[in-house]
Amino acid sequence: MPSLQEFVDEQRALEEEASQALPWSFSECTYGKGYIRQPVFLCLSCQSPHGICAACSIACHGDHEQVELFPKRAFRCDCPTSSLSHKCTLHPTQMLPNDKNRYSQNFHNKFCRCGRQYIPSEERETMIQCVTCEDWYHESCLNLRERPPARSANEPSPSGTDDDAASDVSDLPQALLSEDEYDSLICADCVRKSELLQRWAGTTGVKVVAREKDQEWRVMPPGGPANEDVDDETVDVGGSELTSVEAHPAKSEESVKANEEGAGGSGTKRPLDAAEEERPTKKPRSLCHAPSQSPISKRVFNPDDKTPALESAGDVFLLEGWRSRWCQCPDCLPAFEGEAYLLHEEDTFEPPEDPEAQMSIEELGMRMLERLPRDRVIDGIHAYNQLRDRLVTFLRPFNQENKEVRQEDIEGFFNDLRSGR
């Protein structure tokens, strides 16, 4: 049973929680900005598929059940269009459906290659977004961990405050590749559509997760631009028949280091420069530094009689600084056409922060008063102060006696107030 002090503390905590949950000002729908990359929400209470902007998610669908889909590229808010029967409160003119929006399975509340729904109360895994298709993947579906059992009903659910999500994840064993060991993911479906990505897959900055038949999942190759410790003993990428013919990625990396960098190379060096020296090529070295397809990549994407298949979904994990490592010579550059985000980080619209989100109820009250005409402000402050004084007087004995404030007490106070007592 809460005392007054506890009640006040709890009120503060609730205000803080509310401002964190709804940190944006929600006065303007992004429809007018056109097709932009922005955080998108799916309203489960309205018909699918559609996506709505952050402002509409609060202003127009605030009392509906929603799932945040996070940033989606080239997306225009559907709330003001006729594809939603629910009327937009921020953009009252009804518009035609957005014919350029693309609706992936996420817009049907399905995620990952397993197609599961996202149920926050049951999900314990971190999900990772593919930079290309922007779908979300379970770490277990990326072969980074075993699928943990769903949170059961009698387990403590992640309600409450603080970083439950983080603390909840930490009760799982460490993933094969933790989130801070790589910068971005490109899912297997997207890699299989790109010759460029398959060419770079399996180089030091573009890891794959794979395994030999009946063996453990491993990150291949080990080491990398951000991690100078190349562990030679665990490198077993291509089988002996391959390593004798092809450049050995890890060894090549070592020799690049020795030749060009000396000790303590920065994170910007280009992986597999040395492999290129061994590559039979007519181009001069300075022109193109893209690797030939690595033995790992061959075994994952194009196995044949000579190159036995490695078991792998084919997802690639891009290490920090990856955008600057591609070759952009005239031969390689056309492969990036329409995929500008592979070269430059994209602009993503961020809903403007609500300056009032951090305020307490009292501060908000004062802010409202400031907006009223002068004479009404005086009246307002007067009324506010009167109310506050009476409430404080009413509540003081509760505090002094450390007595519980019940709902009836508060209701009684306001009833008395209304009836003019």
With contacts defined by CB under 5 A, name the span among 53-61, 193-201, 296-304, 412-420 that binds Zn ion.
53-61
Decide: is 64 part of the binding site for Zn ion (CB under 5 A). Answer: yes
Angle at 177 between CA 171 and CA 178, to 5 degrees: 50
Task: Compute how many other C-beta atoms are within 10 angstroms of the C-beta atom of residue 84.
Answer: 21
3-state secondary structure 52-104: ECHHHHHHCCCCCCEEEEEEEEEECCCCCECCCCCCCCCCCCCECCCCCCCCC
* Residue closer to Zn ion (CB basis): 61 or 299: 61
Q: Which of 4, 58, 69, 77 binds Zn ion (CB under 5 A)?
A: 77
- Spell 130-150 as b/e; 16+ CB within 10 A means b: bbbbbbbbbbbbbbbbeebee
3-state secondary structure of 299: helix
> What is the distance, to the nearest Å, from the Cα of residue 126 to the centroid of all Cα atoms in its chain?
10
With contacts defined by CB under 5 A, name the span among 133-141, 194-202, 214-222, 345-353 that binds Zn ion.
133-141
With contacts defined by CB under 5 A, name the span among 62-70, 95-103, 156-164, 273-281 that binds Zn ion.
62-70
Q: Which of 60, 128, 247, 250 binds Zn ion (CB under 5 A)?
A: 60
Integer Cα distance of 293 and 166 in angstroms: 38
Decide: is 333 part of the binding site for Zn ion (CB under 5 A). Answer: no
Considering only residues 259-318, where is the footprint of Zn ion by CB under 5 A? 288, 290
> What is the distance, to the nearest Å, from the Cα of residue 356 to the centroid of all Cα atoms in its chain?
25
Fill in the per-residue mask, 160 to 189: x = in contact with Zn ion (CB under 5 A), - = not in contact. Answer: ---------------------------x--
Q: Which of 45, 167, 170, 358 binds Zn ion (CB under 5 A)?
A: 45
**Positive or negative: CA dihedral 319, 324, 325, 327:** positive
Strands 316-318 and 66-75: unpaired
Give min distance, CB of 59 to Zn ion, in A. Answer: 6
Give min distance, CB of 75 to Zn ion, in A. Answer: 10
Q: Which of 22, 309, 332, 417 binds Zn ion (CB under 5 A)?
A: 332
Q: Which of 69, 133, 206, 247 binds Zn ion (CB under 5 A)?
A: 133
Please name the helix (run of DSSP H) or strand (run of DSSP E) that holds residue 105, with its range, or none.
Answer: none
Give min distance, CB of 94 to Zn ion, in A. Answer: 11
Q: Which of 114, 361, 364, 387 binds Zn ion (CB under 5 A)?
A: 114
With contacts defined by CB under 5 A, name the span among 12-20, 69-77, 152-160, 194-202 that binds Zn ion.
69-77
Angle at 237 between CA 235 and CA 238, to 5 degrees: 140
Decide: is 36 part of the binding site for Zn ion (CB under 5 A). Answer: no
CB 20 within 8 A of CB 348: no
Decide: is 145 part of the binding site for Zn ion (CB under 5 A). Answer: no
Decide: is 42 part of the binding site for Zn ion (CB under 5 A). Answer: no
CB 336 within 8 A of CB 8: no
Of 37, 48, 45, 44, the C-alpha closest to 78 is: 48
* Residue closer to Zn ion (CB basis): 53 or 128: 53
Contacts (Cβ under 8 Å, ≥6 apart) of 327:
288, 289, 290
* Residue closer to Zn ion (CB basis): 29 or 206: 29
CA dihedral 358, 363, 364, 369 (to 10 degrees): -150
Fill in the per-residue mask, 184 to 223: x = in contact with Zn ion (CB under 5 A), - = not in contact. Answer: ---x--x---------------------------------
Amino acid letter at 388?
R
* Residue closer to Zn ion (CB basis): 264 or 334: 334
Ramachandran angles phi, psi of 398, nearest 5°:
-60, -45
Decide: is 325 part of the binding site for Zn ion (CB under 5 A). Answer: no
Decide: is 18 part of the binding site for Zn ion (CB under 5 A). Answer: no
Ramachandran angles phi, psi of 366, nearest 5°:
-65, -40
Integer Cα distance of 214 and 105 in angstroms: 33
Task: Compute how many other C-beta atoms are within 10 angstroms of the C-beta atom of residue 200.
Answer: 24
Decide: is 112 part of the binding site for Zn ion (CB under 5 A). Answer: yes
Give min distance, CB of 205 to Zn ion, in A. Answer: 15
* Residue closer to Zn ion (CB basis): 218 or 289: 289
Decide: is 13 part of the binding site for Zn ion (CB under 5 A). Answer: no
Binding site for Zn ion (CB under 5 A): 29, 43, 45-46, 53, 56, 60-61, 64, 77, 79, 88, 90, 112, 114, 130, 132-133, 138, 141, 187, 190, 288, 290, 327, 329, 332
